[in-house]
Amino acid sequence: MAAKITKGRKRPERSFTERRLGFKLITVITPQQFLEAFLQEKAAAYAETNVRLSSIHRKYFGAPVLEDAGAFLLRDPSKAVTEDVKQSNGSAIVITREPVLNTILRERYHLSADGESWKIIRMDRQCFACRGTGRFEESACSQCEGEGWIHRPGKPSDVGERS
Ligand SMILES: [Zn+2]
């Protein structure tokens, strides 16, 4: 919120409540900051896991599979960038875009205000079948039932892994 510039006369002293509110508005974390912090922490955890997975792969995988072992590692979640943020009273929706293999993965996070920060209360992934349009030729997409988004967790196998 931009500070109001008062012309001509001195701005009246604000009440204690207004000062508190003003302070809160300044220090509250934005939905984008919150989500980026989440992705950074998740990326750090995935990187640690990948170190352990790599040593397991070297131990168990043989020549052809070992060459493609990178495909069995967790992808870097911090490569996702914020594409859109919509915020209303006490809630927000953040859409991220992330290049995965030869396509773009979009995820939609529903946030609920929690003190001066947020909590993720729902996650959706953009439907790959209809690319988010909700339509497949002349009818509604059967994968997402015309929503364009698929509520997560969907299939447990597609959470986190690259392929
Ligand atoms: Zn669809």
80, amino acid identity: A
What's the domain range around 152? Answer: 29-158
Q: What is the mean pLDDT of residues 77-82?
A: 92
Q: How far is the CA of 103 from the centre of ligand 1 (A)?
A: 15
- Chain segment 46-59, per-residue pLDDT in tens: 999 999 999 999 99
Q: Measuring CA to CA, how many Å separate 88 from each of 49, 103, 111, 118? A: 36, 31, 10, 13
Q: Strands 117-126 and 103-114: what pairing?
A: antiparallel
pLDDT of residue 12: 53
Tell me the pLDDT band of 124, cut-offs 50, 70 and 90. very high
In a domain, 146, yes or no: yes
Indicate the SS3 state at residue 89: coil
In a domain, 24, yes or no: no
Q: How far is the CA of 27 from the centre of ligand 1 (A)?
A: 39
Instruction: Please provide the average confidence, as pLDDT, over all residues in the chain.
Output: 84
In a domain, 22, yes or no: no
In a domain, 19, yes or no: no
pLDDT of residue 1: 46
In a domain, 68, yes or no: yes
Q: How far is the CA of 98 from the centre of ligand 1 (A)?
A: 18
Contact predicate 18/1, CB 8 Å: no
Q: How far is the CA of 56 from the centre of ligand 1 (A)?
A: 36
Q: How far is the CA of 30 from the centre of ligand 1 (A)?
A: 30
Q: How far is the CA of 152 from the centre of ligand 1 (A)?
A: 14
pLDDT of residue 101: 81
Q: How far is the CA of 126 from the centre of ligand 1 (A)?
A: 8
Q: How far is the CA of 79 from the centre of ligand 1 (A)?
A: 24
How many structural domains comprise the chain? 1
In a domain, 16, yes or no: no
Torsion of CA 163, 109, 79, 104, to 10 degrees: 50
Q: What is the mean pLDDT of residues 86-103?
A: 92
Q: What is the mean pLDDT of residues 16-37?
A: 71
Instruction: Please list all protein residues whose beta carbon sits less than 5 angstroms from ligand 1, which is an ion.
Output: 127, 129-130, 141, 143-144
In a domain, 7, yes or no: no
Burial 112-146 (b: 16+ CB within 10 A, else e): eeeeeebeeeebbbbbeebebebeeeeeebebbee
In a domain, 163, yes or no: no
Q: How far is the CA of 136 from the centre of ligand 1 (A)?
A: 7
